[in-house]
Structure 1
Amino acid sequence: MAFPLPRGTTPSEIGFLAEMEMVTVVPRQRLEGLELLGGPIEPLVPPRRASLPLWLALLLKRQRRANIMPPTWLHPEPLGLILEVESQHQDYKNAFSPPPPLPGQPSVRDHDAVPLARPQYTPDGGRYYASPPFLPQNTAQENVSPDELPALPFHWLEIGNMLLESASDDLVDSDQIRRLMKDLREVRLAKMRAGTDVLDAAATGGGGVALTGVGAMEVGEERGFLTGVVDNLRKIGASKEQARREQMAEQRANGGYDGAQDDEEEDYMEF
């Protein structure tokens, strides 16, 4: 019996993971602290800001108990700058804008610095390195360098859509943000689908597909397309190789093969 679900993570599962991202809220009334599986939540005292998981922040927003402060990147100016870089900057013509640095790492644009991630520890003393959605990539930040290019977090598409749907009144010009996110998504998807040469090289063992800076939902949506193209290219390459081998065998049988073609097609034979 075939497995009924497609390969990879489904969009609903990706959205569920994104709901564990930490966001910044401004409570509208006092609320007692909570003991969650991800750790304790301190009591909420207005107007003091607090960091909460996205699912809890959306729940309090629907109950009108808190307002959600949009992440630093979810404003018209940063999104417009990222869209301009993605679509017009020569360095990112076939690449994606760099993601936010990991805790303890310098900016990904500082090529001279040594990237050293900062480890975290469990209550039992075990060491681990956090990854999205367990990184503060979507909290509101006050001190942002004007010279630093804004970065899209791993769950940017899911969080942006959730906040536009449930907390659009907390966003600055939500209509413009919605348009910019739509344009940015189309530009980035076009880049992923335009790399046929890279996919051809990956199918024949000549390299891989660089997805640095691509978001979780983007990977989930394009997984079927990318894997399908690579599989088809691999089949085409295998049929060409089989035809070449049959031609070589025929030349040997006729006495016309001298082995000189091996050097010319050596690179193609490597899968």
Structure 2
Amino acid sequence: MAFPHPRGIIPSEIAFLAEMEMVTVVPRQRLEGLELLGGPIEPLVPPRRASLPLWLALLLKRQRRANIIPPAWLHPDPLGLILEVESQHQDYKNAFSPPPPLPGQPSVQDRAALEPIARPQYTPDGDRYYPSPPFLAQNTAQASTSARDMPALPFHWVEVGNMLLDAASDDLVDPDQTRRLLKDLREVRMAKMRSGVDVLDAAATGGGGVALTGVGAMEVGEERGFVAGVVNGLRKIGASKEQARREAMAEQRANGGYDGTQDDEEEDYMEF
């Protein structure tokens, strides 16, 4: 018996989309260029670096034809700093560390003084568009930030980190420590998402929303069922409370202890 998929995108589909992220490789042998749906791939000439989609880089790594250069954030020092900010910094006690800036945006230190302006790109037909992950170079070696900028987790940090740890751990600096830091980061950030029940209560009654700035794709996909279940449960509780209140008002009106003309006057005033 086949079971239906849950609503929304599932984790395996999120991981599939993350394989389109661009990473930096160092080829071990010459390879001809390729014409892919996402655009042409330049010929690989060792030891010149090249940017490839993650799925192709993993394939060449398994064939021992290339080495993968990990992105700047996938090192113990930046991950340790992000974990410290997430768990100890008062400004991020109930929030998440800021994501990497989009192309054309100022750095984290300059965002308070400047207005972020996204830089558009153009298709071969001349149509303008604004790229978003995984079509941003957030995991290439060239995407490293300056020393004064705080490191940031990209949108597909969970998927990219796990894939590189599984297939290219020998290219990473201290992979065991990196794996532990990634696990601790996921636990801290998951706890933040699950602890926002009060915010979900306000969102369920139409009093606000849930801020997910800086949350990754896999985190959203994994917590979608929990958040949706909590919101639906809170809506049912609110509906039952409203029904009980109306029944109590009707009972008071039937016993003569409630002046029903007040609601009628308020409804007439609202219609007017």
* TM class, shorter-length: over 0.9
Write the letter of the residue equivalent to 1:87: S
Cα deviation, residue 18, structure 1 = 0.2
| 1:267 aligned residue | none
Instruction: State the partner residue of 2:207.
Output: 206
Percent same amino acid among aligned pairs?
85
Match of residue 23 from structure 2:
23
Match of 1:160 in 2: 161
Larger deviation, residues 226-235 vs 32-41: 32-41
Alpha-carbon distance in structure 2 between the residues aligned to 1:61 and 1:249: 72
| Distance in 2, Cα, partners of 1:155 & 1:35 | 25
Shift of 1:127: 1.0
State the TM-score, normalized to the length of structure 2: 0.92
Which position in structure 2 is the counterpart of 1:184?
A: 185
Structure 1 position 3, deviation (Å): 7.6
Instruction: Give the aligned length.
Output: 261
1:107 offset after TM fit, Å? 2.2
Contact 2:118 2:130 in 1 (8 A): yes
**Relative to structure 2, which stretch is displaced further, 31-40 or 105-114?**
105-114
Give structure 2 stretches of 5+ with no counterpart.
264-272
**Matching of residues 129-168 of structure 1 within 5 Å:** 129-141=130-142, 144-168=145-169
Assess, with a 3 A threshold, how the Cα gap between structure 1 residues 176 and 143 changes in structure 2: closer, same or farther.
closer
Aligned partner of 1:126 in structure 2 is 127
With normalisation by structure 1, the TM-score equals 0.92
Which residue is 1:4 aligned to?
A: 4
Q: Which residue of 1 aligns with 2:266?
A: none
1:242 equivalent in structure 2: 243
- 2-side partners of 1:256 and 1:97: how far apart? 55
Alignment match, 2:57: 57
Shift of 1:254: 2.1
| 1:219 correspondence with 2:214 | no
Cα deviations by residue, 1:112-147 (Å, 9 ceiling, x for unpaired): 211111111111111111110000000113863222
Equivalent AA in structure 1 for residue 242 of structure 2: E
Shift of 1:256: 2.1
Distance 1:165 1:108 in 2: 31
Secondary structure of 1:141's counterpart equals: helix
Equivalence for 1:34: 34
Measure, in 2, the Cα distance between the counterparts of 1:171 and 1:94.
31
In 2, Cα distance between equivalents of 1:160 and 1:143: 16
2: CA distance, partners of 1:10 / 1:196: 23
CA offset digits 1:22-81 (Å, max 9, x no partner): 001111111111111111111111111111000000011011111000001000000000
